Structure 1
Amino acid sequence: MFRPFTPSFALASLLVGLTATVQAAPAGRSVVLTGKSGESPVLYVAPGTVTVLLLGAPILRESVQVEGRARFAVFEVGDAGVTLSPAVALGTGEWLALRVTYREGSPASVVFLLTGQPGTADGLVNVSRPQQTVEACRVELSATRERCEAQAKELEALKARPAALSPAAVALAGFVTEKGMRGAEFEKACLETRGGELRPVQCWGLGGTTWSVVVLEVNNTGEEPWAPAWAEVTPTGGEPRRAHVVLSGQATISPGGVMSVAVEVEMPARKWEAWLRAQHSVRVCNGDGSRCLSIPEVTL
């Protein structure tokens, strides 16, 4: 995962950027988010210049993702900001997406487009969102209600399942065909998830014809209990979608405790060779989405 954002580091990095060959844009460039569909503000980045993005409100640190992470010499995520600098210049016309999700308010998330332009790079960028209108609050409340209703339906579906499934019942339900199922350990995904209060101890999965399951052993290193309530999966280059079911060994995981969490995902019908082959990222959150665990590069 990412290391915490530290102002002292950012200041030192900015001083380095000021002495670089690329001329940084004047500090304090402002970006105002409108929340319109398809909005993607452009940021100019260059090696030797550190771009400091101040987002104006608390963000979900676990949600921050950037394309081509290995191409950045500096990538720091804080409670309300991101600091970054590429190791090598981005070509003109080349774009890398930086996705950020806010803890609350509207717009809830934004995708910045990072690109290169000879002789130009952003230094300090201040991002702001418009004040919430009554209509925006109504929309957000409606979305929250829909999420709660969806979770209630998932709970009812779980209650309708038999308390215990025998191998024969599993076969009759169509969960397993004559091809059986495939299992795999996602060691790389676990190793790349660092820096948050929620840390995966072990990651593994199972796959069948029309489903995949990711099992995570999660260590809660924070000071508050955590109760996983919902999850979303995002295929590489695709849009996030809600997981079918999230199950855990207990209702909550206490501070310092470890708990197994299983995320079930509906998949399009596929042949045996394609089981656990498509790369996704998985995000598991508590009810209001304020504390999430994000696992990159999981094959489903």
Structure 2
Amino acid sequence: MLRPSFPPFAFASLLVGLAATAQAAPAGGAAPRSVVLTGKAGESPLLYLSPDVPTFILLDAPILRESVEVEGSARFARVDPGDEGIMLVLAVPLGPKERLALRFTYREGFPSSVVFLLTGQPGEVDTVVKVSRPQQTVEACRVELSATRERCEAQAKELEELKARPPAVSPAAVALARLVDVKGMKVQTFREACREVPGELHPAQCRGLAASTWTVLVLEVSNTGPEPWAPAWAEVTPAAGGEPRRARAVLSGQAAIPPGVAVSVAVEVEMPARQQNAWLQEPHTLRVCNADGSRCLSVPQVKL
């Protein structure tokens, strides 16, 4: 791929010199040529190039200069893209059976992406090629709008999927956030708490991770019900009595857990500063619910 090297002021000079260049070209290709792009699949007009003879491609609309690509770049003395034109100067002859692709993209309109095939033919050369696209019909605009809407919807869906992913973590991020102090961290498995939990949402495994000011409960939740379940919030209630309090965060391996699938769900609970001997000691009942609270997983006797 050749990067644009055409300075903004050069295109005006290029236009001034077109007539003289066309007269200096071989007789077979002196007259300007017009090409109308239809946008049909596989459309690739042929352009005939000759060494040391500039070929000017004049366009009827602005293009993305950085999109210009030409195959076999080493065989060209110059490839100069402008906002509405491209100049090609071939250094090495092309055979009649050779085809080098020239690609570029318009800023807007249809067709948006264009491919020309560059070749050689003794005694024939395109010095000036005027490229245009047909006026957009109402139906063509409707098709283009529909395609744009589909792309936007696909991008919106992809964005939602990215938002549903848990944030990337690393040991360095944990250290910078000071989530673990000199007292370290403790991990414990709650076998009894998970063993007999009734309902459609069943925790196959439960474990806790604790440090001085936080506890994270990790549940491997199996959805045995007929509908997907999306954990959105959680609360913990002391087994000894007291008001329930909301967890600080609920993260899931995916946005919704389909029927018959097990996914890890992590519940982060903020804790008052405490000594190591108090980590994962105080029994609580944990409830993890979907957004409207209509489906909840309740696990008694987890320890914070």
Give TM-score, length-normalised by structure 2: 0.51
Q: What does residue 137 of structure 2 align with?
A: 133
Call closer, same or farther: CA 1:18–1:104 in 2, change over 3 Å.
Answer: same
Q: Identify unmatched segments of 5+ residues in structure 2.
A: 172-304
Q: Distance in 2 between matches of 1:108 and 1:140?
A: 10
Q: Which of residues 6, 13, 21 in structure 2 aligns to 1:8?
A: 13
Q: Which of residues 29, 43, 50 in structure 1 aligns to 2:54?
A: 50
Q: Distance in 2 between matches of 1:78 and 1:98?
A: 14
**Offset of residue 71 of structure 1:** 1.1
Q: Which of residues 71, 82, 89 in structure 2 aligns to 1:85?
A: 89
2:22 corresponds to 1:40: no
Q: What does residue 176 of structure 2 align with?
A: none
Q: What does residue 285 of structure 2 align with?
A: none
Q: What does residue 153 of structure 1 align with?
A: 157
The superposition leaves residues 190-243 of structure 1 with CA deviations (integer Å, 9 ceiling, x where unpaired) of xxxxxxxxxxxxxxxxxxxxxxxxxxxxxxxxxxxxxxxxxxxxxxxxxxxxxx
5 Å matches for 1:1-300? 1-4=3-6, 6-9=11-14, 11-12=16-17, 15=20, 18-19=23-24, 22-23=26-27, 25-166=29-170
Q: Distance in 1 between matches of 2:75 and 2:148?
A: 37
**Offset of residue 125 of structure 1:** 0.7
**Offset of residue 60 of structure 1:** 1.0
Call closer, same or farther: CA 1:49–1:84 in 2, change over 3 Å.
Answer: same
Q: Distance in 2 between matches of 1:162 and 1:156?
A: 12
The superposition leaves residues 128-177 of structure 1 with CA deviations (integer Å, 9 ceiling, x where unpaired) of 1110001110111011111111111121111111123347xxxxxxxxxx
Q: Distance in 2 between matches of 1:92 and 1:9?
A: 28
Question: Residue 42 of structure 1 contacts residue 113 of structure 1 at CA under 8 Å; is this kept in 2?
Answer: yes
**Offset of residue 84 of structure 1:** 0.4
Call closer, same or farther: CA 1:23–1:7 in 2, change over 3 Å.
Answer: farther
Question: Residue 14 of structure 1 contacts residue 49 of structure 1 at CA under 8 Å; is this kept in 2?
Answer: no
SS of residue in 1 equivalent to 2:29: coil
**Offset of residue 12 of structure 1:** 4.9
Q: Distance in 2 between matches of 1:27 and 1:81?
A: 18
Tell me the C-alpha RMSD between the 2 structures.
Answer: 2.2
Question: AA paired with 2:57?
Answer: L
Question: AA paired with 1:139?
Answer: V
**Offset of residue 11 of structure 1:** 5.0
Question: Residue 32 of structure 2 contacts residue 126 of structure 2 at CA under 8 Å; is this kept in 1?
Answer: no
Q: Distance in 1 between matches of 2:140 and 2:134?
A: 10
Q: Identify unmatched segments of 5+ residues in structure 1.
A: 168-300
Q: Distance in 2 between matches of 1:35 and 1:90?
A: 27
Q: What does residue 243 of structure 2 align with?
A: none
Give the paired residue count.
167
SS of residue in 2 equivalent to 1:135: helix
Question: Residue 27 of structure 1 contacts residue 125 of structure 1 at CA under 8 Å; is this kept in 2?
Answer: no
Q: Which has the higher contact order (CA 8 A, sep 6+)?
A: 1
Q: Distance in 2 between matches of 1:18 and 1:95?
A: 26
Question: Residue 101 of structure 2 contacts residue 116 of structure 2 at CA under 8 Å; is this kept in 1?
Answer: yes
Q: Distance in 2 between matches of 1:54 and 1:13?
A: 10
The superposition leaves residues 232-273 of structure 1 with CA deviations (integer Å, 9 ceiling, x where unpaired) of xxxxxxxxxxxxxxxxxxxxxxxxxxxxxxxxxxxxxxxxxx
Question: Residue 24 of structure 1 contacts residue 123 of structure 1 at CA under 8 Å; is this kept in 2?
Answer: no
Q: Distance in 1 between matches of 2:59 and 2:21?
A: 22
Question: Residue 14 of structure 1 contacts residue 50 of structure 1 at CA under 8 Å; is this kept in 2?
Answer: no
The sequence identity of aligned pairs, in percent, is 64
Question: Residue 13 of structure 1 contacts residue 50 of structure 1 at CA under 8 Å; is this kept in 2?
Answer: no
Question: Residue 2 of structure 1 contacts residue 77 of structure 1 at CA under 8 Å; is this kept in 2?
Answer: yes
Question: AA paired with 2:75?
Answer: R
Q: Distance in 2 between matches of 1:87 and 1:13?
A: 20
Question: Considering only CA atoms, is the larger Rg found in Structure 1 or Structure 2?
Answer: 2
Q: What does residue 278 of structure 1 align with?
A: none
